[in-house]
A and B are shown apart, each in its own frame.
Chain A
Amino acid sequence: MVARRNNKSNNLGKSSSAPSAVRSAASALKRDADGGGRRIRLIVGKSGLDGHDRGVKIVARALAEAGMEVIYTGLRQTPEQIAEAALQEDAAGVGLSILSGAHLTIFRRVRELLDERGLGDVVLFGGGIIPAEDVPALQKMGVDRVFGPGTSTAEIADYVRGRLGGGTK
């Protein structure tokens, strides 16, 4: 996915006052002790012969910073590998980054393989270099959302939280 890093979410390096750091560490521990409840789990990766992974890595990192568990599957995955990963990982969604122009083929195949595995409720979305005129066709085949160049990571995180965080799974 092509995305601009959201500066607001990148404040981990800033020094913070000790008491609030203690408080957040304590609350994180408390949260984890509860078993963490159900986290948003999703697959993020690339398929096809497209080696440009800077964007998808930034998106994976940004979604983790937004508190999600992101299973990053890496480059050149076959649609079968991606669908099988979604099944084994019990992912609520699959986000694919495609910059090669093969989006119509790959998204269709991944959607088919997900449906074959009984994963019709897994939300498929993506981004990359995808011409606007192809978006309606993608949506028709079951791609929930397509993000274009210049999308902020915050927008993607908001979408994923809203779409996958509803406790429907």
Chain B
Amino acid sequence: MPKPDAAKLLASARSGDRAALARLLTMVESDPDAAFVAAGVVPKAESRKPKADAHIIGFTGSPGAGKSSLLDRLAGELARSGARPACRGEARPSGRRPAVLSIDPTSPFTGGAVLGDRVRMSEETLAVGVFVRSMASRGAAGGLARSVSAAARVLALSGYSPVLIETVGAGQGEVAVAELADTVVVVLVPGMGDDVQMLKMGILEIADVYAVNKIDLGGSAAFVEHLCEAVSGPGAHGRARHELAAGPVSDWVPAIVPTSARTGEGIVELVAAVESHRRHLAEDGRGQALRAARAGRRILRALAERLAAEAGCEGSCRLELGKLAAAVASGAMSEWHAAGELLGTSIMSPAAKSGGRKRLLDSRPAGRAGRPGSDHGKSL
């Protein structure tokens, strides 16, 4: 079979060919650039620039919080709601064509993955035209996969919006989704800790909307109350406060929506909260300013990952690594310090050494290279 052409696949996908879209997504998973090459070629054929302004909604939360089930409900409701009877009384589509990207972890040992998020996708949701794609994290840190933003772009170019992105079940610190999504929904469940958990930073900070799921199990009232305290008042959670410091002032207070993916309770309210945030972003160009700031953070994350991946360690570096590993294992030094030692003794692979990456490394203070996402927020 001849190698399919990304631009041709995109043209087919834009005319509604789901198999072509699926094939293009596979291509993009191996090479994120394919999405952008394709997008650059299409305008000539169609004589207009393809628009891709999908609302990107990130879904994150602990494993087992009910992200997949809630996403299934939400995607179905987004596709159906807003449908008005047409003049002849037939149901008309809502105008929204939701797509779902679900990420599950890749094994660090074998490179394989079990992608299980489709288990929660109901027949009803597929029947209303929701496109669901599973992605393996393939070694990316932070709860997403490296090609997620490119895959979201392909879906947007193919006419899908919103694009719902489900992260690898996150712990407290997997916050990469906040660097991509326009709206972040953090899914929580009652009974996963007391009010001290609410003080903790990380995942609780990144929400625009909190879904308190599994309310059918009871015990949600006190939890919602604690959460309300955490998102309002001084030191409140919610990322708008941090991100907008340098941009337009935001008065967005994170919404809290009690839900039950099992009974369907709260799903209409969840759609309303997400829509309300989208409208909020549309005012005064807030959304565009935020997108640029987040893209900057994604570049820095990609830079850190590329440095880690391309700093090959062969020969003498391998010997040095062995010594350092023994020292770190015995408690003699920190891995942070050891990484600095490796950078200092110039252990880059020959390819990296001769190329531009060496200069890139040299231009950074040795102790700071490879330190992702620490203190660049302000400068953006």
* Chains A and B bind each other: yes
Q: Which residues of A contact B (CB under 8 A)?
A: 12, 18-19, 22, 24-26, 28-33, 35-39, 41, 60-61, 63-74, 78, 80-81, 84-85, 87-90, 117-119, 121, 168-169
Given contacts A33-B306, A33-B310, A35-B32, 8 further A-B contacts (CB under 8 A): A32-B138, A33-B305, A69-B115, A71-B134, A72-B119, A74-B118, A85-B118, A90-B25
Q: Which residues of A contact B329 (CB under 8 A)?
A: 18
The interface centre, meaning the residue of A12, A24, A26, A121 with most chain B CB atoms within 10 A of its CB, is A26
- Which residues does B use to contact A, with CB under 8 Å? 1, 18-19, 22-23, 25-26, 29-32, 106-116, 118-119, 123, 126, 131-134, 136, 138-140, 146-147, 305-306, 308-310, 312-313, 321-322, 325-326, 329
- Asked whether B111 lies within 8 Å of A31 as measured between CB atoms, the reply is yes
Bound-state CA distance A90–B133 (Å) is 9
Chain B, Cβ-Cβ closest to A71:
B115
**3 closest Cβ contacts across the A-B interface?**
A33-B309, A32-B139, A74-B119
- For the complex formed, measure the closest distance between the CB of A8 and the CB atoms of chain B, giving whole angstroms: 13
Closest residue on chain B to residue A12 by CB atoms: B109
Whether B112 contacts A89 by the Cβ 8 Å rule is no
Contact A35:B123 (CB < 8 A) given known A29-B309, A71-B118, A89-B133: no
A89-B119 in contact (CB<8A) = no
Among residues of A, the one whose C-beta sits closest to the C-beta of B111 is A67
Chain A residues near B322: list those with CB within 8 A: 19, 22
Which of chain A's residues have a CB closer than 8 A to the CB of B321?
Answer: 22
Contact assessment for A28 and B123 in the assembled complex, using a CB-CB cutoff below 8 Å: no
Chain B residues whose CB sits within 8 angstroms of the CB of A35 once the complex forms: 29-32, 138, 146-147
CB distance from A22 to the nearest CB of B (A): 6
Q: Which of B26, B107, B116 contacts A41 (CB 8 A)?
A: B26
Q: Report how far A118 CA is from B118 CA in the complex, Å.
A: 22
Nearest-Cβ distance from residue B29 to partner chain A, whole angstroms: 7
- For residue B18, which residues in chain A have a CB less than 8 angstroms away from its CB? 87-88
* The one of B108, B110, B138, B325 that contacts A64, using a Cβ cutoff of 8 Å: B110
In the complex, A34 Cα to B291 Cα: how many Å? 27
Tell me whether B112 and A68 are in contact (CB under 8 A).
Answer: yes
Question: Which of A33, A81, A168 has most B Cβ within 10 Å?
Answer: A33
Decide yes or no: A74 and B30 within 8 Å by CB, A19-B325, A81-B123, A89-B133 being known contacts.
no
How many angstroms from the CA of A117 to the CA of B118 in the assembled complex? 19
Closest to A121 in B: B1
Q: Which residue of A lies closest to B314 (CB)?
A: A26
Bound-state CA distance A28–B308 (Å) is 12
CB contacts (< 8 Å) of B23 on chain A: these are 90
Residue of B nearest to A167 (CB): B1
CA distance in complex: A72, B121 (Å):
11
Chain B: which residue is nearest A65 at the CB level? B110
Q: Given A70-B114, A73-B119, A88-B131, does the pair A64, B309 have CB atoms closer than 8 Å?
A: no
- Bound together, the chains give a CA A10 to CA B380 distance in angstroms of 47
Q: How far is the CB of B149 from chain A (nearest CB, A)?
A: 14
Using known A-B contacts A29-B308, A30-B312, A33-B306, determine if residue A90 contacts B26 with beta carbons closer than 8 Å: yes
